[in-house]
Every structure is written in structure tokens, then in C-alpha cells.
Amino acid sequence: MPSRSPAAARASARSWLIWLTAAFVYILAVFHRTSLGVAGLEAADRFGVGAAALGTFTVLQVGVYAAMQIPTGVLVDRFGPRAMLTAALLFLGSGQVLLAVAHTYALGLLARGVLGVGDALTFVSVLRLAANHFPARQYMLVTAFTGALGFVGNLAATLPLTLLLAGPGWLPTFLVAGLGTALFVAVVQWRVHDTPVARTTESEAVSMREVGAQVLTALRVPGTRLGFWTHFSTMFSQNVLVLLWGVPFLVQGQGYAATTASSLLVVFVAGSMIGGPLVGGFIGRRPEARMPIVLGFLATTAATWAVLLSWPGRIPLAVLVPAFALLSFGGPVSTIGFALARDYNPLPRVGTATGVVNVGGFVATTITALLIGVLLEATGGNFRIALLSVVAVLALGTWRMVVWYLRARAAVFAAQERGEPVPVRLRRRPWDVRAPGRERVAAPA
């Protein structure tokens, strides 16, 4: 199938530099998103709140992120990724400055909400920029590299941030981080071009009815739904640990020191940084292996959580490190959802479809983080019971993903029979079903 990107068959060095500049914005977004993961206990003391209220910080931020994904996709398609990345930096910087000076729970919530808006504008914009600058055969690899680089921000939000909070303290740490982020706007304005031939792009204004129709069209594509549930199922279990509950679980639930706990979160970063290019490079060459990899990872995730939640007494480091390493591949595997969105939608709708897919993992993260906080309050801090929420959400997501996997395969087979082009040619298996309708699996670019 021909590339849907306007980029040449091989991206130029200039396109790589433009993408790297945009990817640094994503690094900053991940840093701000995950900063409360190691600052959770300090936030509880600063604002005088318990586990359920502390969970609300993440629920609010991630909830805003999830709610903004589809509007972000529409905005990126309308105004271009350069404008959206600029707006993202301004929201991220102002949100972190507000958090630095906040002394009340309400103001802290507002700050995290503003951060959520900036975070929401980032990843879809970087992926749309990649779709504009890179051919289809490189898109999955670039997407994987983007996710891997994002974990550099995650790394900065583990032990280094813990040491800064223990040294200079809350106000200087978050104030400098916010101001530095806002200043990076100048670099984006200087370096980033929406396409290889134009600094900015902007489509014609459309009515809300047309926007709604575009979103519904993306949702009707089985590949988009499959991408949503793939993203929903694969990334959330590591997210709830990295974003909020990892350090409290290890410190309060397992009795490890705060520095040891934050160092253990580095395992997620290392695993994701290594796994991203490996997964992206492999499925870029073997796209037919995408869903088998997802299914294998979900089975591994279920087994890992079974070990962690059934371990008698304190879980030793020899078990925690490989368990976290296995879970860390959730981020790289979740990028398969974005490849599905790109393959099964025309380029003018890729931003919208990517936004739909990106909602999945963060909806799952929001639900799970809230359930853990509520169950911790109800059980007096029993993490073993509270973390059963992860298992429940994992089962839900896996079930729905399998349903849409079968429907997407059926749609591909129906398209093949009609002689239409398909992103990946499949072999029919005994468990495959016939397509319920005549929907196209991929519209021309």
C-alpha cells in the first residue's frame, strides 16, 4: 500500500532534527506528568490530604488528558502540530509554576489540571508531525523512538527529582522546571516546521457538526477501535505505578526506603527506552506480528501481577526488578495502537484517530488510580486488595480488545475479497468470523 505521508521515501536530516525538537517537548511533558509519582508523599504533607484525595491529583490530570485527546486530534488536524506544541509548552510551564507556589489542595488540583491540558496537546502533535515528515515504513520506528525518549523525562522525575525535593525543596524545583519549559517555546518556533515544505499548515475552519462527523467516522473504523482497546489494555498498569502509586506501594506497603523506591521506578524507564526501539523496529518490518505481540504481552502482564499480589510477605528486589522490567514493555507495546490508527485512516484524519486511540490507556489509568485510592481508604492501606483493581481493569480491556481484533480481521478479509487495498494482508484462521458489514478498512490518502 502506498505511503500516506507527504514525506519523501527517505526522511531528510532536517526532518529528523525537527522531530527531535518536538520529541523534547514530549520529554518535558512526561517529566511534568510523572513528577507527582515521587513527590506524592510530599504533596500529601504539603496539602494535608489522605490517599483518596492524593489519588484525585492523578485522576484529575489524567482525566483531563484523556478528555482532551479527541479535541487535540481535531485541533492538530486544523491548526498543525507546531501551533499545538507551542500551546502545550505554555500550559505545561504555567501549570508547574502554579503548583510550585500552591499551598492549598484546591490550587494544587487546578495546577495539575492545567498541566493535564498541556500534556494532552503534546503526544498527538508529535505523532502528526512524524506522519507529515516520515514515510509509512519509518513511522512506527519514529513513534517508538518518541515513546522511548519520553521516558527520559520519566527518568528525570525519579531519583533526580527525589534528590532535588530533598535539597532545594518544592518551590525552587518546580518553579525552575515550569519557567524552563515555557522558555522552550522559542526553540519550537525557530526549529519546528509542520511539513518538509511549509513552516505552518492550517486547514479550513469546519463546523462542530463536521468535527463530530469526522470523529464518528474514525470511530466506525474497526482498526481505530482495536487501537483504542490495545492502548487501553497495555500501558495502564505501569502508568498507575509510575504516575502515583509506585512509591507509596513500595514505601508504605513493602517497607522500602524512599530513595530505593524511586530508584526501582527507573526500571520502568530503562525497560521502556530499550523496548521502544526493539518493538518499533520489529513490527515496522513485520506488521503482521503486531497483535500476537500484544496478546503475548497481556498474558505476561496477567502472570506478573498474579506473582506480585500473591507473594507472601515483603516482595524481594530479585522479584520486583524483573516484574517491573516486564511491565515496562507496556509503553512500547501500546504504540501499536497508533500504528493501527495511521494504517486504517487517511492522513487528514490521522490526528483525530490518534487522539481516539490515545484516550484508551489514560482512561484505564484514571479509573485504576481512583479505584486504588478508594480501596486503600476503605481497607486501611491494604495494597494487596487495592491493587486488585489493576487485574479487574486488565481483564476488561483484554476482553474488549479481543472482540475488536476479531472484527478488524473480519473487515480486512472482506476488503481483500472485494479487491481493495489493505495495510496488512492476513491469513484466515479457524476462529475468524465473517465481517458484519461492508466498511472499508482503509481510505485512500
For residue 304, tell me if it sits in a domain. Answer: yes
Q: Is 91 helix (H, G, I), strand (E, B) or coil?
A: helix
For residue 264, tell me if it sits in a domain. Answer: yes
pTM: 0.72
Can you give the CATH number for the domain in which 238 is found?
1.20.1250.20
Q: Are 256 and 427 in contact (CB under 8 A)?
A: no
Query: Is the pLDDT at 341 greater than 60, yes or no?
Result: yes
> Smallest Cα–Cα separation from 25: which of 181, 215, 219?
181
> Which range, of 15-29, 158-172, 293-307, averages the lowest pLDDT?
158-172
pLDDT, mean of residues 71-89:
88
Highest mean pLDDT among 36-45, 74-83, 184-193, 431-440: 184-193
Which has more pLDDT, 267 or 205? 267
**How many domains does the chain divide into?**
1
For residue 4, tell me if it sits in a domain. Answer: no
Q: 211-233: per-residue pLDDT in tens?
A: 777 778 887 888 889 999 999 99
* pLDDT (0 to 100) of residue 425: 67
**338 phi and psi, to 5 degrees?**
-70, -35
Distance CA 25, CA 33 (A): 12
Average pLDDT value over all residues in the chain: 82
Q: How far is CA 316 from the centre of its chain?
A: 29
Grid coordinates in use for 187?
526553540
Q: Are 301 and 329 in contact (CB under 8 A)?
A: no
Q: Are 118 and 106 in contact (CB under 8 A)?
A: no
For residue 430, tell me if it sits in a domain. Answer: no
Provide the pLDDT confidence category of residue 346 given band limits of 50, 70 and 90: confident
**Residue 109: CB partners within 8 Å, gap ≥ 6?**
56, 57, 60
Which has more pLDDT, 239 or 269? 239
Distance CA 430, CA 413 (A): 13
Write the DSSP string, 12-73: -HHHHHHHHHHHHHHHHHHHHHHHHHHHHHHHHHHHT--HHHHHHHHHHHHHHHHHHHHHHH
Distance CA 236, CA 393 (A): 9
Q: Estimate the share of the chain in helix, then strand, then coil, as percent rounded to the nearest 5.
A: 80, 0, 20
Q: Which helix (H) or strand (E) holds 370?
A: helix 350-379
* pLDDT (0 to 100) of residue 2: 35
Give the C-alpha distances (Å, rounded to integers) separating 85 from 11, 35, 88, 352, 356.
21, 20, 5, 16, 19
Q: What angle do CA 352, 355, 360 make, to 5 degrees?
A: 140
pLDDT, mean of residues 195-219:
72
**Residue 140: CB partners within 8 Å, gap ≥ 6?**
280, 283, 284, 287, 335, 339
Q: Which residue is it, cell 516484574? A: 323
pLDDT, mean of residues 274-300:
83
Please count the other Cβ atoms lying within 10 Å of the Cβ belonging to residue 283. 24
DSSP 431: T
For residue 19, tell me if it sits in a domain. Answer: yes
* pLDDT (0 to 100) of residue 29: 92
Distance CA 392, CA 311 (A): 18
Distance CA 150, CA 441 (A): 31
% of the chain residues with pLDDT over 70: 88
For residue 433, tell me if it sits in a domain. Answer: no
For residue 20, tell me if it sits in a domain. Answer: yes
Q: 120-151: per-residue pLDDT in tens?
A: 899 889 988 888 888 767 777 787 788 778 77
> Smallest Cα–Cα separation from 98: which of 151, 32, 155, 152?
32
Domain extent, residue 177, equals 13-196+211-417
For residue 439, tell me if it sits in a domain. Answer: no
* pLDDT (0 to 100) of residue 9: 57
Highest mean pLDDT among 2-11, 71-80, 278-287, 360-369: 360-369
Distance CA 84, CA 201 (A): 11
Distance CA 148, CA 142 (A): 10
* pLDDT (0 to 100) of residue 363: 87
* pLDDT (0 to 100) of residue 444: 39
Q: Are 30 and 242 in contact (CB under 8 A)?
A: no
